[in-house]
Amino acid sequence: MRPDGLHGSGAGLAPVATRVAALNARYRHHGAVAVLEHALKDADLGRVALVSSFGAESVVLLHLVSVVAPQTPVLFIDTRLLFPETLAYQRDLADRLDLRDVRVIRAGLTELALADPDTALHSRDTDACCTLRKTVPLDRALSGFDAWITGRKRYQGDTRATLDFFEEEPGTGRIKVNPLAHWGKEDVADYMLNNRLPRHPLVARGYPSIGCAPCTSPVAPGEDERAGRWRGSAKTECGIHFIDGRIVRRPTQDNAA
């Protein structure tokens, strides 16, 4: 925690809003590779990590980072409820792409024993389970960074329609980097095909969006890609958000992670 109460390690850096404006102006006409290649070395960004779920489309951003800056820390949240296939895929990709600083983030065993002793919290309160197993561990892991890379894209919803490469994360003192902001779904598919990148094994089994095993089910033809997430409830996102410096839990279409 910084002396001003905000997260990140950027002592001496200019205010976040100032740096975000400068970075967007500097790299506005660059592509995803150039944003990563140049911006990751930019003093205005500070210390940067990539947050990845190693999910259905994660391999694109992981591959880009492995080519441009393989030393970039990669934060992978293991909720201890993930599919075995996800854990195996994570290990395989880390080795195949030569990712040199993968950090597996987990809630502490003592925390889990106190808040979820029967490992059934997900069946009673999905928001509380996500907070315990994802939101709090990620916030803790990001506390030493000034920025983090996300896979968010403009086509993913109206709230992302004007998404920039760089944006301020309110209340945290951090910057979110969205190198794939201008990519369409076809760009993602083409990149995976052209670079012969391995798909998550569950995609072929009807899981186009992959989360924790107890809360993810296959999707039928014609259903929305996220229909299998928390099926039967109004919840559509794990809801990792930071507002006014506090973690906020809520279902939303504008999830950052």
User: Could you give the residue numbers annotated as active site?
Assistant: 238
Residue 11 corresponds to which tokens in the numbers above?
């002592």
CA separation for the pair 176, 148 (Å, rounded): 5
If you write DSSP's letter for every residue of 42-104 in order, what string do you get?
-TTT-SEEEEE---SSHHHHHHHHHHH-TTS-EEEE--S-B-HHHHHHHHHHHHHTT-S-EEE
111-114: long-range pairs with CB below 8 Å, 24+: 111/136, 112/80
CA distances in angstroms from 242 to 69, 113, 175, 229, listed in the order given: 27, 26, 12, 22
CA distances in angstroms from 82 to 55, 193, 205, 210, listed in the order given: 11, 26, 16, 9
Note whether 75 and 96 are within 8 A (CB). no
Report the interhelical angle of 32-39 vs 58-68 (nearest 10°): 50
Cα-based torsion angle of the residue sequence 247, 213, 215, 148 in order, rounded to the nearest 10 degrees: 30
CA separation for the pair 204, 196 (Å, rounded): 16
CA separation for the pair 183, 152 (Å, rounded): 9
List % helix, strand, coil for the chain (3-state, nearest 5).
35, 15, 50
